[in-house]
Amino acid sequence: MRLIQNMSTIAEYPTPEYSVPNRVIKIAVIGGSGVGKTALVVRFLTRRFIGDYERNAGNLYSREVQVDGEQVIIQVQDTPGAEMTDNGISVPDHVTCSVQWADAVVLVYSVTDRRSFDLIDQLHQLVVRTGGANMPPVILLANKADLLHLRRVDSQQGPLLAGTLGCSFYEVSASEDYNQVHGAFHRLCCQLAKQPPPASSSTQTSASGATEKRRSPLIPRPKSPNMQDLKRRFKQALSAKVRTVTSV
Ligand SMILES: Nc1nc2c(ncn2[C@@H]2O[C@H](COP(=O)(O)OP(=O)(O)OP(=O)(O)O)[C@@H](O)[C@H]2O)c(=O)[nH]1
């Protein structure tokens, strides 16, 4: 009985119009270890900040959003951190693959970590080499701007470097300011949405589609289920908070 009532109530409403996303925007986030790549991606896609630290092996996050009135799927590839070594830098294969796969690249350093800033030039060179004629748009993010007392990279150095590399620059704090993080990613998405979609782009983006685009056999397959991973990390963060509260 209740079911029939509910059904008649539903029938009174017009059928909602669902817009089917017709575009996939693929973004790779690269930088040194511990600079906040995961925190930035999660902040952008969920508005939340995850304070726990877990070294990541490179997860793919996906979300449907509106960009300039158009429904699009945004896929953000988080990557393991690159490291400075005695012989230069060590870049995990996953990073190179992600750059090949991506429509745009977000370079990240932490203002508290000088070495992460020094890595940026070489990571940018990697993007230039990998992109070749298909050089993707790049933005530079300086993260952890809230940690004023730990700052090791002067605030003028980021914009100067971005000017040299020819990319946009944003100083942000994943922990303190959602709007800054969202603004940076969103502007990049708007820029990409204005470009004609690559031939391989579709709602069912796939490793093979990306292969066509960059002609590389080394394309990372999306690691799924990424929303499951997010939920697990939220639970961990929440239970840590509960523990802290109960122990006070
Ligand atoms: N204070 C502050 N801490 C941050 C910020 N962003 C990230 N963190 C912290 O920095 C640590 C590293 O953050 P992650 O997002 O895991 O860094 P990552 O670059 O993904 O690290 P890897 O997986 O090792 O490459 C975590 O403890 C975060 O909570 C920020 O804007 N401010």
- Per-residue pLDDT of 138-168, as tens digits, reads 999 999 999 999 999 999 999 999 999 999 9
* Per-domain residue ranges of the chain: 21-205+215-247
Q: What is the mean pLDDT of residues 183-206?
A: 73
Distance between alpha carbon 44 and the CA centroid of its chain, in Å? 8
* Ligand 1, atom 8: closest residue by C-alpha: 36
- Predicted local confidence at residue 57, as pLDDT: 73
Taking the CA of residue 144 as reference, the ligand 1 atom at the shortest distance is: 31
pLDDT of residue 88: 84
Among 29, 33, 38, which residue has the most ligand 1 atoms within 8 Å of its CB, making it the best to mutate? Answer: 38
Do the Cβ atoms of 78 and 3 come closer than 8 Å? no
**pLDDT over 70 (residue 30):** yes
From ligand 1's centre to the CA of 81, what distance in Å? Answer: 11
More confident residue, 202 or 230: 230
Substitution candidate for ligand 1 out of 30, 33, 37, 178 with most atoms within 8 A of CB: 37
pLDDT at 183: 96
- ipTM at complex level: 0.99
- How do 138-143 and 60-67 pair as beta strands? unpaired
What's the confidence (pLDDT) of residue 153? 98
Residue reference for tokens 């590389």:
216
| Ligand 1 lining (C-beta closer than 6 Å) | 33-39, 51, 53, 55-56, 80-81, 143-144, 146-147, 173-175
DSSP labels for 110-163?
A: ETT-HHHHHHHHHHHHHHHHHHGGGPPPEEEEEE-TT-GGG--S-TTHHHHHHH
- For the chain, percent of residues with pLDDT exceeding 90: 58
As a whole number, mean pLDDT of residues 11-18 equals 43
Mutating to test ligand 1, I would choose from 60, 123, 144, 180 the residue with most ligand atoms within 8 A of its C-beta, which is 144
Give residue 224's pLDDT: 47
Instruction: Using the atom order of ligand 1, give the atom closest to the CA of residue 41.
Output: 15
Contact in structure between 8 and 57 (CB atoms under 8 Å): no
Class (C level, CATH) for 21-205+215-247: alpha beta
pLDDT for position 101: 95
Ligand 1: nearest atom to the Cα of 108: 19
> Residue 188 and residue 182: Cα distance in Å, rounded?
10
Read off the pLDDT of residues 65-103 as tens digits, 9 standing for 90 and up: 888 888 899 999 999 999 988 888 899 999 999 999 999
Q: What is the mean pLDDT of residues 19-46?
A: 90
User: Hey, whose CA ends up nearest to atom 29 of ligand 1?
Assistant: 51
Task: Note the pLDDT of residue 230.
Answer: 64
In the chain, % of residues over pLDDT 70 = 70
Nearest CA to ligand 1 atom 13: 36
